[in-house]
Structure 1
Amino acid sequence: MQRLVMLRLRSNNFSGHIPIEITWLLSIRILDLANNTFSGVMPRSLANLKALTTTVVALDIKENPFRELYEYETFSSAGRYNNDSLSLVIKGQVLEYRENAIYLMSIDLSCNGLTGQIPEEIGSLLRLVNLNLSSNFLSGNIPYKIGNLQSLESLDLSNNQLSGEIPPGLSDLTSLSYLNLSYNNLSGRITSGHQLDTLKTDDPASMYIGNPGLCGHPLPNACPRDQPAQEDPARWHEDDSTQMDFHLGLTVGFLAGLWIIFCGILFKKAWRYAYFKTFDKLYDKVHVFFVVTWSETQVHRETEGVFVF
């Protein structure tokens, strides 16, 4: 089966681990095991799928399952295409493909019970166009090497238990036209820029909903460093308490000083005489000042009256 180019076993009742022998199919281009009950971890030997890497050679005409060759036709002839079609889930919808399906390069393991991490080796499948691992129990971080998949057009990792930050390399996938990372445990700032800003422009938040730890555009919750600094209520309370203590101390000190002066005047005769003597002198000075000022004002007014007459 080394020449097998499509393996589609979706919507059956297959269970157990995904056979590692599948990764020995060097010519496989479409691997569809979705909607089964496979469990366990994803095979780490995905790099063996040579048709999904840059080492693949051009597809031979006789390897296209949609082309029929008859006994009287040679492999160099055009042959004929049959009317068969292939349904594939890509970009969030079911699409029908015919003879051009052979160029799709797709892995669909969605709707199973797969656990563990997404293997780093998936970053070596440079010709992969569609990767759908949604609705499993995958955990751990999204591999940073996923940013190497420059041919990737559709990536669906929704409804898993993935954690950590979104790899910044996703913004460099210039062919990406569909992304779904919703309903995981991802955290941190949402990667933006380049291709990611062009996806789902009508509702970009739907790509990330269900991840309470994510922040930043297009989600409504801002990242901590984006929020304006807020005064700590405890600090305000502390400042109010300090200011109140200061005013209370100032009042008590003033009253204490006033009481000491009053007691000194009351019980010390010399202080009392000095106080009233000083008060009398001050009173006399103020009285003389006002009398002189008033007299000068009157004289000035009378002088002005005579001059006018």
Structure 2
Amino acid sequence: MPAFYFPQLRIIDVAQNDLVGFLPNNYFKILKGMRDVAPADKVKFEYIGDFEFYHEDSVKIVMKGSMVKLERILKIFTTIVFSSNQIHGPIPEELGELNSLLLLNLSHKSLNGQIPSSLRKSVELESLDLSSNNLEGKILEQLTYLTFLSILNLSHNELVGHIPEGKQFSTFSNDSYIGNSGLCGFPLTKNCHEEEEPEAPPKFYEEDDSATLFEWKFAL
């Protein structure tokens, strides 16, 4: 059933299925439950008579390749997990408009193109996993705006260039970037500013000065 039937969805987890095709960018546009979540909406209350109760439930989601069971769900826990399917194509720019999204897992597919710059708007994002795809280009400096980001996995792609520095990016280890031979900079050992050794100048045969002088005297 199309996602626009459920605009207030907060958790979408369809990991490890046989879904094919492109990510549905039109669906992401109408997920109002993942945009501009007000503080008052963070916890769902139930009223029974004159008493007020927290709503509690449990759900299982895939985080960092492992199944995790959350015993208590807050409405603020907005999640999209499409990992381990047969989805290909670019990452939709519309995902960046979901500025209340906390967890985004698009790993283990055949996504290509570049990391969309719109993800800089997902300022609440705490976990981003785009590993094991065919993403190319540079890691955008704008991703350093995601100051709540505590989990980052961009491994096994075709990313190149300098890894952004500062803020949350200073906390990530090599594991976040392995399998991208074109990347350089901290925390990798490959230095982006490493200059190539200058080539040795070509060697020319130099005649012996004394022999040359003798030949000129002989000619005179």
TM-score by length of 1: 0.64
What secondary structure is seen at the aligned counterpart in 1 of 2:207? helix
Match of 1:131 in 2: 104
Match of 2:20 in 1: 39
Give the superposition deviation at 1:219: 1.6
1:28 aligns with 2:2: no
Shifted more, 99-108 versus 205-214: the winner is 99-108
- Cα deviation 1:235-286 (Å, max 9, x = unaligned): x2x2x21xx3xx317445312222134xxxxxxxxxxxxxxxxxxxxxxxxx
Match of 1:218 in 2: 187
Higher helix fraction (1 or 2): 1
Identical aligned pairs, as a percentage? 33
* Residue identity in the other structure for 1:54: D
Match of 2:148 in 1: 175
Give the superposition deviation at 1:134: 0.4
**Superposed CA RMSD:** 2.5
What secondary structure is seen at the aligned counterpart in 2 of 1:179? strand
Distance 2:87 2:20 in 1: 5
**Matched ranges for 1:280-299 at <5 A:** none
Contact 2:15–2:62 (Cα < 8 Å) also in 1: no
Give the superposition deviation at 1:215: 1.4
- Cα deviation 1:132-174 (Å, max 9, x = unaligned): 0000110000001111111000000001111111111111211
Distance 1:143 1:110 in 2: 18
Match of 1:228 in 2: 195
1:187 aligns with 2:156: no
- Cα deviation 1:53-90 (Å, max 9, x = unaligned): 116695498xx5xx777xxx34x6324756x5212223
Q: Kindly indicate whether structure 1 or structure 2 has the higher relative contact order, using CA contacts under 8 Å at least 6 residues apart.
A: 2
Whose radius of gyration is greater, 1 or 2?
1
Instruction: Choose the corresponding residue for 1:209, options 161, 178, 184.
Output: 178
Contact 2:22–2:87 (Cα < 8 Å) also in 1: yes
- Are residues 80 and 210 of structure 1, via their aligned partners in 2, closer, same or farther at CA, if it must alter by over 3 Å? closer
Match of 1:259 in 2: 218
Match of 1:269 in 2: none
* Residue identity in the other structure for 1:162: L
What secondary structure is seen at the aligned counterpart in 2 of 1:104? coil
1:86 aligns with 2:88: no
* Residue identity in the other structure for 2:35: T
Distance 2:42 2:160 in 1: 45
Match of 1:107 in 2: 80
1:160 aligns with 2:142: no
- Cα deviation 1:166-218 (Å, max 9, x = unaligned): 1111112110000000001111111121111023xxxx111000011111221
What secondary structure is seen at the aligned counterpart in 1 of 2:214? helix
- Are residues 57 and 257 of structure 1, via their aligned partners in 2, closer, same or farther at CA, if it must alter by over 3 Å? closer
Contact 1:24–1:49 (Cα < 8 Å) also in 2: no
1:116 aligns with 2:85: no
Matched residue pairs, number? 219
**Matched ranges for 1:241-256 at <5 A:** 241=204, 244=205, 247-248=206-207, 250-256=209-215
Instruction: Choose the corresponding residue for 1:77, options 41, 51, 58.
Output: 51
Distance 1:60 1:166 in 2: 31
Q: Which runs of 5 or more residues in structure 1 are unaligned? A: 1-18, 262-309
* Residue identity in the other structure for 1:258: K
Q: Which runs of 5 or more residues in structure 2 are unaligned? A: none
Contact 2:35–2:100 (Cα < 8 Å) also in 1: yes
